[in-house]
Amino acid sequence: MERKLKKAKKKSRQKEPPQEEEPQVERTLQDEIVKMGNIKASSKIKSCDLLLSGKGELKVVVLLQNNSVECFSLTADPTQAGTAESSKSVRLTLGGHRSDVRTLAFSSDNIAVLSASVESVKIWNRSTLQCIRTMPCDYALCSLFVPGDRHVIVGTKSGKLQLFDLSSGSELDAVDAHDGAVWSISLSPDQRGFTTGGADKCVKFWEFELVNDDNEAQSSRRLSVKQSRVLQMDEDVLCVRHSPDGRLLAVSLLDCTVKIFFVDTLKFFLSLYGHKLPVLCMDVSHDSSIIITGSADRNIKIWGLDFGDCHRSLFGHDDSVMFLQFVPRTHLFFSAGKDRKVKQWDADKFQQVQTLEGHHGEVWCLAISPNGDHVVSSSHDKSLRLWDRTREPLILEEEQEMQREAEFEESVGKGDQPVVAGEKEGEAALAGKKTIETVKATERIMEAVELHREESSKLEEHRALCKAAGKELPKKIHPILQAYGNMSSSDYVLDVIKKVRSSELEESLLVLPFSYVPDLLTLFRDYMRQSSDVELICRCLFFLLRIHFGGITSNQMLLGVIEDLKSCTISRVTEVRDVMGVNMAALQFLKREIEAKEEVLFFADATERFEEKRRKRKKKEKMLLTLV
């Protein structure tokens, strides 16, 4: 209204004569804005929309910053402002986490999956993939299902152990366990307690117990935990694992070592050292004979628990190894790394079985179901991925071939080509892998050389028969040579070599057996004498001499051929170089001639444009004089 009034005053001043009366602006129904009420959403609002129903009820739908949609209903009296009452009728939200999931766990019945992140603990149904329970928590780092699958325990970054009841979805207890972050938790094999390791350089042993619930009116008992023993360490504890037989406890420390103690007496047993960076994860096999460790140095080491010897060190991932776990009742294990991959390994044969790709960020952790048929992994992309074991047979050779092809394609994309052994980087860039195209090109060269051998022997026999008969006898020509216009066998070999792609020529010659090299060198000598495709023949000749130097120099039959090639090659290359020099000089001369002509034309065009402008200027001056 103020803007309209100001505008009306401005118009009245502009009129002549100016009006002395104050302009009046009437308010209409469209100018009346009445505040009905406030709507309070649970998070920041990104967008909204309104819907007025036939009953006069106003519905407001808002999209929130946390990927939720809320619908509110407003009922108000139009005669009274600010009397609207809003009520939330519907709320749609995603079941996933809003932050990275740092811990996962499977229930003993293979049905429920626990995932915990910065703000909440969620329980999922594996078969329906639905979130059945969400409970708020602190920054979770480790977790486990309490035997019986009715409670879960979560270790947090603040050093607390939070105990949750799944039936009610409430927190039963919060225990200050460590002075620093609780990095790892391990259920004891007797299922009567568990062990935790934290940043306060302590390994603490806990037992389950039933205590009286003070919140209930009637006398009832609930589950709780109590500390039984403490093992003081010299460094921060990153991971703890029990051996399934209950005899040993493995503790990973910040000083890159793994120390193993007896559980009953807590006496030191073994020390595993060999990693260059701290060990972030580990696991013990079902028979308590093997322990695997994964480190930030990207290596996975397999150790024997009897003497602590390292069976094998595997380069596991391209970045830090974040989680390791054995498949129950086997020596197969899965590993997760920051390179966005989940890999399966065989601890007996020390080889990789398969690679599971699909995550778009660093993989933080994984969990394997007790029956070994399912694997759940979590990543920095805030997603949980469920992997099911199929009944199809897995052929390791095919998996390894696919992995090699993927690595080769990735190296080609980055421009990292392997070089020949003994040469510096940049001198040569040869492919170290056979492809279908190079093998086919090699086979065509071999067939052409064999055809040349047959035709050469037939030609010698034909000449002997003609000499014995004393007259020229008809000669039978090979069908392939007839199809190419009765060309000679040597020309056919050259034609086959010319048809090989330039990018695949060296690779094809690299696969070629040495038995065909003498024939090719003899043919190269003939081609050089005829000055046929000197550049192509020199390229093939120099490459064969480089890769078969030992075999060629040790063959006495090829010394004469090499000497002839030396003299022919020098002379022919000199001729080609002279021709190229003349051609370059001629091209430069033509270039200078063309540039000179273009400069003359440009100067003539500029002169014409200048004269045209001067004529136009004179014409304008004459017109002005005439008008005056």
Q: What is the pLDDT of residues 279-306, one digit of tens each?
A: 999 999 999 999 999 999 999 999 999 8
Q: pLDDT grade, residue 205 (50/70/90)? A: very high
Three-state SS annotation for 141-201: EEEEECCCCCEEEEEECCCEEEEEECCCCEEEEEEECCCCCEEEEEECCCCCEEEEEECCC
Find out whether 245 and 217 touch, Cβ atoms under 8 Å.
no
Name the percent of the chain lying above pLDDT 90.
Answer: 33
CA distance 338 to 363: 6
Cβ burial of 188 (10 Å; 0-12, 13-18, 19+) is: middle
Q: What is the pLDDT of residue 426?
A: 46
| pLDDT band at 601; cut points 50, 70, 90 | low
| Angle at CA of residue 124, ends 123 and 127, nearest 5° | 155
Is 544 buried (19+), middle (13-18) or exposed (0-12) by CB count in 10 A?
Answer: buried
Residue labelled with tokens 């048809």: 499
Average pLDDT, the chain: 84
Which pLDDT does position 79 carry in this prediction?
53
Q: In what side-by-side order are the strands of the sheet with 160-165?
A: 140-145, 151-156, 160-165, 170-176
Q: How far apart are CA 331 and CA 283, in angstroms?
A: 11
Residues 6+ apart with CB under 8 A from 415: none
The answer to whether 296 touches 303, Cβ cutoff 8 Å, is no
Centroid of chain to Cα 144: 30
Q: So what's the pLDDT on residue 247?
A: 92
Q: How many CB atoms neighbour CB 603 within 10 A?
A: 10
Which has the minimum average pLDDT: 240-244, 403-407, 514-518, 535-539?
Answer: 403-407
Query: CB–CB of 534/526 below 8 Å?
Result: no
Peptide bond before residue 17 is cis, with ω within 30 degrees of 0: yes
Q: Which residues contact 459 (CB under 8 A, 6 or more apart)?
A: 475
Q: Looking at residue 253, what is its pLDDT?
A: 93
Q: What is the dihedral of CA 357, 361, 363, 366, to 10 degrees?
A: -70
Q: Tokens at residue 503, please?
A: 């990018």
Q: Where are the beta strands (DSSP E) in 233-304?
A: 237-242, 248-253, 257-262, 268-273, 279-284, 290-295, 299-304
Span 411-454, pLDDT tens digits? 665 655 444 444 444 444 444 456 777 788 888 888 888 888 88
Question: Within 331-488, where are the H helices?
Answer: 396-414, 436-469, 479-483
Which whole number is the average pLDDT over 144-149? 92
What pTM value is reported for the model?
0.55
pLDDT of residue 182: 93
**pLDDT tens-place string over residues 367-396:** 999 998 999 999 998 889 999 988 877 777
The pLDDT assigned to 404 comes to 77
Side-by-side strand order, sheet with 321-326: 321-326, 332-337, 341-346, 351-357
* CA–CA dist 281, 404 (Å, integer): 27
pLDDT value of position 321: 93
Separation of alpha carbons 135 and 170, rounded Å: 7
Dihedral (C-alpha) 342, 108, 111, 294: value to the nearest 10 degrees?
-10
| pLDDT exceeds cutoff 60 at 511 | yes
- Please state, in angstroms and rounded to a whole number, the distance separating the CA atoms of residues 525 and 563: 10
What whole-number distance in Å separates Cα of residue 380 and Cα of residue 422?
A: 43
Least confidently predicted of 21-35, 143-157, 310-324, 581-595: 21-35
pLDDT for 30 beyond 70? no
Q: Is pLDDT above 50 for 602? A: yes
Closest to 204 in 3D by CA, of 171, 174, 180, 172: 180
Mean pLDDT of 357-367: 91
Read off the amino acid at residue 11.
K
Taking the C-alpha atoms of residue 260 and residue 268, their distance in angstroms, rounded to an integer, is: 6
The model's confidence at residue 555, banded by pLDDT at 50, 70 and 90, is confident
Predicted pLDDT at 398: 77
The predicted-structure confidence for 180-204, as pLDDT tens digits, reads as follows: 999 999 999 998 999 999 999 999 9
C-alpha distances in Å from residue 550, one per residue of 18, 326, 419, 555: 111, 50, 19, 9
Query: Virtual CA dihedral for 517, 519, 520, 524, nearest 10 degrees?
Result: 140
C-beta of residue 137 within 8 angstroms of C-beta of residue 121: yes
List the Cα angle 137/138/139 in 5-degree steps.
125
What integer is the mean pLDDT of 102-125?
A: 91
Give the H/E segment covering residue 226.
strand 221-232
Q: Mention every residue, 6+ apart, whose C-beta is less than 8 A from residue 183.
A: 141, 142, 155, 197, 198, 199, 236, 237, 238, 239
Could you give the count of Cα atoms lying within 13 Å of 105 in the half-sphere of its Cβ?
27
Tokens 């140095």 sit on residue: 297
What is the 3 state secondary structure string of 30-52? HHCCCCCCCCCCCCCEEEEEEEE
Please report the pLDDT score of residue 325 as a whole number. Answer: 93
Type of residue at 509: L
Are 373 and 389 spatial neighbours (Cβ–Cβ below 8 Å)?
A: yes
pLDDT at 421: 40
Mean pLDDT computed over 16-22: 60
Closest CA to 140 of 115, 169, 164: 115
Asked if residue 115 lies in contact with residue 129, where contact means CB atoms within 8 angstroms, the answer is no
377-403: b or e for each residue (b if 16 or more CB lie within 10 Å)? Answer: bbbbeeebbebeeeeeeeeeeebeeee
How far CA 108 is from CA of 88, 191, 518, in Å, comes to 39, 12, 70
b/e burial code for range 205-241 (CB count within 10 A of at least 16 → b): bbebeeeeeeeeeeeeebbbbeeeeebebebbbbbbb
| The predicted structure's pLDDT at residue 134 | 86
Residues paired with 465 in a beta bridge: none
Residues 67, 345: contact at Cβ < 8 Å? no
